[in-house]
Amino acid sequence: MMLASGTKVRVKLDWPETRGPCHIRTPYYLRGHEGVVVRHLGDYPNPEALAFRAPEQILPLYHVRFPMADLWPDRHGNNSVLVELYESWLEAA
Amino acid sequence: MNILEAPSEKLLAGIRKLLAEKNIASADEIAERIRITDEASPARGAAMVARAWTDPEYKALMLRDGTMAAEAMGVPMRGLPPLGVLENTEDLHNLVVCTLCSCYPRAVLGYPPFWFKSAAYRARAVRDPRAMLVEFGTNIPDNVKLEVVDSTADYRWMVLPRRPAGTDGWSAERLAALVHEGDMIGITVPVVK
């Protein structure tokens, strides 16, 4: 599955850190939030697996944009956050 | 021996020995990497920015593939994460942060400024960026979109600032002297003094 630019996605509302040691590249403040795929940045070995020498798993990495007003209760007219996220953290929105 | 209480120099020597024994990195390779890291400075990024301002083809390359654009200026990028370049325009200002740790485009900007890794910068950049920028002396007008780029994974990001007014006809060398570290993070913008 390759997500096209403009695809709406949701970051999984998941907390692997509650299940044991992990190396997470998805900021907590984005979890459960909806964003839009800006572009596919390439495919890379999943750092969450690499950190534990787990078998190599190549995953698509995307640049995903989130309106800042959706992330925080503060007033954020014209601000957005653009973040690299691995496909394993994204679900259809 | 408790590894947490071991003297750090002894630990480092042990790790270097293991890396060599396991053919992961030789002493020479480690020394070369340290030399390359120490040599990097914001002057490299500034030279890329100045060339982009004066050479449309180079600018297109830089926005398409920052790694190739850095290599074209003689910056060694082998073995480093890909470099992405974010263009500031009349309507868009980019600000780079790494909320998870300290990802920074060291190959082209050198070591990060001390505040880049602070919890305060990392938290405020994604929550209160405009007010934080004012504290850095940078006012982004309300009609300009502010995009905070949180480096989380395999890329390193630098900002291509806007060329300041009043610099028509300037050489790339003279332009490069206007560009400072903060301009390529998005904390400040280049100005003609």
* Domain with A72 in it: 8-88
Q: Is residue A1 part of a domain?
A: no
Note whether residue A19 is domain-resident: yes
Rounded to the nearest angstrom, the minimum Cα separation between B93 and chain A is 10
- What was the pLDDT predicted at B103? 93
CATH code: domain of residue A35: 2.30.30.50
Q: Which two tokens stand for residue A53?
A: 């020498």
Q: How many CB atoms lie within 10 A of CB B56?
A: 9
What tokens were used for A24? 């997470």
Residues B141-192 pLDDT 10s: 999 999 999 999 899 999 999 999 999 999 999 999 999 999 999 999 999 9
User: Which of A25, A29, A41 minimises the CB distance to B126?
Assistant: A29
- Taking only the tens place, the pLDDT of each residue in B18-46 is 999 999 999 999 998 899 889 999 999 99
Stretches where chain A sits below pLDDT 50 are none
Cβ density class B165-176: b for 16+ within 10 Å, e for less: eebeebebeebb
Q: Is the ipTM of this structure higher than 0.85?
A: yes
- Is the separation of the CB atoms in A87 and A60 below 8 Å? yes
Q: How many domains does chain A have?
A: 1
Residue A61 lies in a domain: yes
Residue A93: inside a domain: no
DSSP at B12:
H
Q: Which residues of B touch A84 (CB under 8 A)?
A: 150-155
Domains and CATH numbers, chain B: 7-38 (no CATH), 41-184 (3.90.330.10)
Judged by a CB distance cut-off of 8 A, whether residue A40 touches chain B is no
* Mean pLDDT, residues B53-74 taken together: 98
CA nearest to B91 within chain A:
A78
Q: Using DSSP, how many helices (H) and how many strands (E) does chain A show?
A: 2, 5
